Structure 1
Amino acid sequence: MRSVAIIGAGIAGLSCADVLAKDGWRVTLFDKGRKAGGRMSSRRVETPHGEASFDFGAQYFTVRHDGFAAEVARWADAGLAVRWPHAGSDAWIGVPAMNAVVREMAARHEVRFSHHVSGLAREGMSWRLLGEGMPTEQFDAAVLALPAEQAAPILTLHDFDLARTALFARSQPCWTGMFAFDSPLPHGEDILRNHGILAWASRDSAKPGRRGPESWVVQATPQWSTAHLERSPEEIAPLLLAALQEATGAHAHMPLAHSAHRWRYALSAGTGLGCLWNEQQRIGACGDWLLGPRVECAWISGRMLGERILGAAREAA
């Protein structure tokens, strides 16, 4: 049985894992986070008016690829995903939170959370993971399901051509604010787009399958996020709140709970390559940065890499 270490347990890494595990590979995923989610993460916060829930990464996902459509149909049948017409005719969300579908995918595999992989060591024909608390076990193949900026330093030591592709695939950052209120904001729409410094604002509590107090998620424009990238969440949250209050006319509404999160690598440009793979060293990369800035692209990229790895293994057999 061949083995593979996949660094990153987001949609791309888990999609790749699905393909390889189905063919009998021993798949182990490593993720620096404490739980499944990645850029489809959700956060719960206790307030005096009950628990507020925030989808503070991807706000929804689209379904256009036939293979992904089949996967989403399965999620829908399991009650893990529903349509969100307010965001678009092909918009879907996870239920009861966006991370529901990622958690379901992760449950099918061995995922070691709170494992920050800092590098890879080539030992003979195998790979060993580097980093505090990493296992000593070796793997036949290694997959980097990480943002381009995090994959590049690891690839540089092993395949400069792959690393160069990652180095030129730059992402844009995004500051995200999360706010819960004791009453609805005086705004008739559940979604705001392109208003001042806000690229997006949505009434998260109005999404299908959601409960809890009035909750909003706001996402700043890439330009504003870049200009304020190194400021602290404590500094950013009041600025995003003021922008939300101005956009909705809710100047008198003060939040029950508030926080801000910085996504350094939020919006990928997309290289159009699909995935990267070096068969001689058996190292590769997948992620939305290799196709486009959509959840669906991450899933497709992971699947493409999994199928490419299997095809190469069959040719070598």
Structure 2
Amino acid sequence: MTQSLDRIAIVGAGLSGLACARRLCRAGGKVQLFDKARGPGGRMSTRRVETPLGTVGFDHGAQFFTARGDSFRAEVARWVSEGLAATWPAAGPEAWVGLPGMNAPVKALAEGHSVAWNTVVEALIRDAEGWRLKTPEGLSGPFDAVVLALPAEQAAALLAPHDEALTARAAASRTAPCWTVMAAFAERLPVASDTLEEDGILGWAARNSAKPGRGGPEAWVLQASPDWSREHLEDPADTVGDALFAAFATRLSAPLPEPVIRQVHRWRYARSATGSEQALWSETARLGCCGDWLSGPRVECAWDSGEALARLIINARGNDRSAGPGLGSSQ
């Protein structure tokens, strides 16, 4: 296998994967990203739906983010200067959202990168020339290294044939699911607050149309609690929608009007556990992992993880092999 670390494949083009890609490219790396989604967003996705009242946008993944560390605060400041983010006081004094949708910052980060959208990576294959990625369209590569910017469970499945230590760390992490309902109404609902905190079945509810930069008809995002989502993970979508609507109506103490549109989405991997590392890198296998599952369930953690892994790879490029192979981590 070549000792170069110039050609790098990143599986997952969400915030963590794109943060890693940007730093690697700035250091001279040649990066190719792969993502099974139709477009950028990941768990910062925004879904736009055509209705009789016009187009409605729903932030159906992460509802907002905070910025506490210097690196991410600087990045958010850049997003603000480019009109990609704004504060959302209804969710708290430190809450931010993307403009005009939550996916806007991720979409901007993806521009200029080579991303194969709608591409499922089924397996990693290592040969004398490096790593190749097996997809339904065939093999891609060779690459000198592979980064997995995926939920822990998906990363573990790809890692299993190749690196026992990385696989064990990914397999030890568990990501909570989340059922989400998106609904638009022809009239404003009788609730004063634009956000509702966890209460039984409901883990979160937000008047999406009240976020900065939004508009259009009354639009709500309802997210089930992690425990309820886990218990009802395989329920039919309509059954889940009815249950969340009933819980929402109970919270409002009023029947809900018929929605103009209602859609249900299941996030099988929504909220990561809290870990103690930012990123993982195996010099022996030339495999790395980044994502919020390594440090904590926050958007900022995903960003920090991607940057941390890029630094590990850049350092590996600059070091000779006298240090010996091994598993590195950033904490």
Which whole-Å CA distance do the structure 1 matches of 2:135 and 2:25 have between them?
A: 25
Q: TM-score normalised to the size of structure 1? A: 0.98
Q: How does 1:223-238 map to 2 (within 5 A)?
A: 223-238=227-242
Aligned to 2:327: none
Which whole-Å CA distance do the structure 1 matches of 2:138 and 2:75 have between them?
A: 32
- Deviation of 1:153 (Å): 1.2
Which whole-Å CA distance do the structure 2 matches of 1:247 and 1:105 have between them?
A: 38
Identity across the alignment (%) = 50
Gapped regions of structure 1 (runs ≥ 5): none
Match of 2:31 among 12, 16, 27: 27
Q: How does 1:123-162 map to 2 (within 5 A)?
A: 123-162=127-166
Aligned to 1:204: 208
* CA separation of 1:40 and 1:245: change in aligned 2, threshold 3 A: same
Aligned to 2:101: 97
Question: Deviation per CA, 1:194-219, whole angstroms, max 9, x where unpaired?
Answer: 12210100000000100110000011
For the 8 Å contact 1:13–1:145, the answer to whether it is kept is: yes
* CA separation of 1:136 and 1:111: change in aligned 2, threshold 3 A: closer
Which whole-Å CA distance do the structure 1 matches of 2:92 and 2:138 have between them?
A: 43
For the 8 Å contact 2:276–2:294, the answer to whether it is kept is: yes
Which whole-Å CA distance do the structure 2 matches of 1:41 and 1:266 have between them?
A: 12
Aligned to 1:239: 243
Which whole-Å CA distance do the structure 1 matches of 2:309 and 2:265 have between them?
A: 30
- Deviation of 1:135 (Å): 4.0
Match of 2:73 among 58, 69, 73: 69
Which whole-Å CA distance do the structure 1 matches of 2:315 and 2:141 have between them?
A: 25
Runs of 4+ in 1 over 6 A off after TM superposition: none
- Which SS does the other structure have where 1:202 is aligned? strand
| AA aligned opposite 1:73 | A
Match of 1:185 among 186, 189, 193: 189
- Which SS does the other structure have where 1:129 is aligned? strand
Aligned to 2:84: 80
Which whole-Å CA distance do the structure 2 matches of 1:254 and 1:218 have between them?
A: 16
Aligned to 1:42: 46
- Deviation of 1:312 (Å): 1.1
- Which SS does the other structure have where 1:61 is aligned? coil
Match of 2:110 among 101, 106, 110: 106
- Which SS does the other structure have where 1:301 is aligned? helix
- Deviation of 1:154 (Å): 1.1
- Which SS does the other structure have where 1:245 is aligned? helix
* Alignment root-mean-square deviation, CA: 1.2
Q: TM-score normalised to the size of structure 2? A: 0.93
Gapped regions of structure 2 (runs ≥ 5): 322-331
Q: How many residues align?
A: 317
- Deviation of 1:235 (Å): 2.1
Match of 1:174 among 173, 178, 194: 178
